[in-house]
């Protein structure tokens, strides 16, 4: 494993960092959940981490009024603070200890959303240069309408920043959300080949998606375990 910038960060050879990326409603979380079940069944040490506001962020963001909005660089750095906290506390030590770390959203989510908010792409990448490079990044590609419809089903209200409301993209909250998500998709697509994303068709049958994911992850398992897992996969 190496850091995003290429300088060395050590981890146990058997430790792996597997990331899923995609917009809300892309189905990435459920795929990661299913992968987690499979890895646990195989007896692999697994740890789950998600790109969501932790203690620091919660202390700063709620109850904020429109007039004292968090501006893009502030928001970007608060996300980075949260990530660094999670990284130093969980991700790095667990990789050192030999775990399979499953990350629901990683630095790529920051690259995409921060760029949409107008932060300099090179700056954002340098801020996150301390993060270990994943062994696999699965990108769940869905048309924006599919993602938005899935994400909004059963939800009462949109989170202000999650929905990109701070960007004033539209007076309509839902239209604003749709535009924001479509811009994030553009960002993901632009970085897909450079960051070596494994692009998954998020509209495909979920079982088939999971099978493809597991086939890919076979290559990351220790050889003996991979043989057993491969047999199981072909029987089922």
Partner 1 sequence: MSSPRTAMAARPIEFFGDGISYLKGREVKGRLIVVEGPDGSGRSTQVGLITAKLESDGHAVVTTGLRKSELMSNSILEAKQSLPLGKRTLTLLYAADCANQLMHKVIPALEAGCIVLADRYIYTLMARSTVRGLPRRWSRDLFGFTIKPDLVFYLDVDPRELFHRVFQKYSGLDYFESGSDLGLSDDLYISFVRYQRMMMKEFRIMGREYGLVPIDANRSVVQVQGDLQRRIDGYLHGRA
Q: Which stretch binds partner 1 (CB under 8 A): 29-37, 121-129, 154-162, 202-210?
A: 121-129
If we measure between CA atoms, which residue out of 98, 94, 92 comes closest to residue 44? 98
Q: Is 73 in the site for partner 1 (CB under 8 A)?
A: yes
Task: Supply the minimum distance, in Å, between the C-beta of residue 127 and partner 1.
Answer: 6
Answer for which of 2, 89, 96, 231 binds partner 1 (CB under 8 A) is 89
Q: Is 80 in the site for partner 1 (CB under 8 A)?
A: yes
- CB 61 → partner 1: shortest distance, Å? 10
DSSP state at residue 49: E
Beta-carbon contacts of 3 under 8 Å, excluding residues fewer than 6 positions away, are 9, 129, 130, 131, 132, 133
- Asked if 227 touches partner 1 (CB under 8 A), the answer is no
Please report whether residue 106 would count as binding partner 1 according to CB under 8 A. Answer: no
Is residue 120 a contact residue for partner 1 (CB under 8 A)? yes
Q: Which stretch binds partner 1 (CB under 8 A): 40-48, 84-92, 206-214, 224-232?
A: 84-92
3-state DSSP helix/strand/coil % of the chain, to nearest 5: 50, 15, 35
The CB-of-184 to partner 1 minimum distance in angstroms stands at 16
**Residue with token string 């493809």:** 212
Strand order of the sheet with strand 198-201?
Answer: 46-50, 100-104, 16-21, 136-141, 198-201
Contacts of 41 (CB under 8 A, 6+ apart): none
Q: Cβ–Cβ contacts within 10 Å for residue 170, how many?
A: 15
Candidates 126, 143, 149, 232: give the one binding partner 1 (CB under 8 A): 126
The answer to whether 2 contacts partner 1 (rule: CB under 8 A) is no
CB 148 within 8 A of CB 178: yes
Binding site for partner 1 (CB under 8 A): 55-56, 59-60, 68, 70-74, 76-78, 80-81, 84-85, 87-89, 118-120, 122-123, 126-127, 129-130
């Amino acid at each position: 494993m190496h850091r995003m910038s290429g300088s060395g960060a050590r981890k146990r050879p058997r430790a792996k960092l597997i990331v899923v990326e995609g917009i809300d409603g892309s189905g990435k979380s459920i795929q990661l959940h299913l992968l987690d079940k499979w890895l646990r069944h195989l007896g692999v040490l697994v740890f789950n981490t998600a790109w969501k506001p932790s203690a620091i962020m919660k202390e700063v963001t709620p109850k904020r009024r429109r007039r004292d909005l968090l501006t893009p660089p502030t928001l970007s750095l608060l996300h980075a603070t949260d990530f660094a906290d999670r990284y130093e506390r969980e991700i790095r030590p667990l990789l050192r200890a030999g775990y399979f770390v499953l990350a629901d959203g990683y630095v790529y989510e920051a690259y995409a959303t921060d760029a949409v908010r107008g932060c300099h792409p090179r700056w954002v990448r340098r801020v996150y240069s301390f993060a270990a490079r994943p062994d696999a990044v699965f990108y769940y590609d869905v048309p924006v309408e599919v993602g938005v419809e899935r994400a909004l089903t059963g939800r009462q209200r949109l989170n202000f920043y999650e929905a990109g409301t701070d960007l004033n993209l539209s007076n309509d909250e839902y239209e604003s959300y749709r535009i924001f998500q479509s811009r994030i998709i553009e960002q993901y697509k632009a970085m897909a080949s450079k960051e070596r994303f494994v692009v998954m068709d998020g509209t495909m049958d979920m079982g088939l998606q999971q099978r493809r994911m597991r086939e890919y992850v076979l290559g990351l398992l220790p050889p003996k375990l991979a043989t057993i897992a491969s047999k199981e996969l072909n029987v089922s």
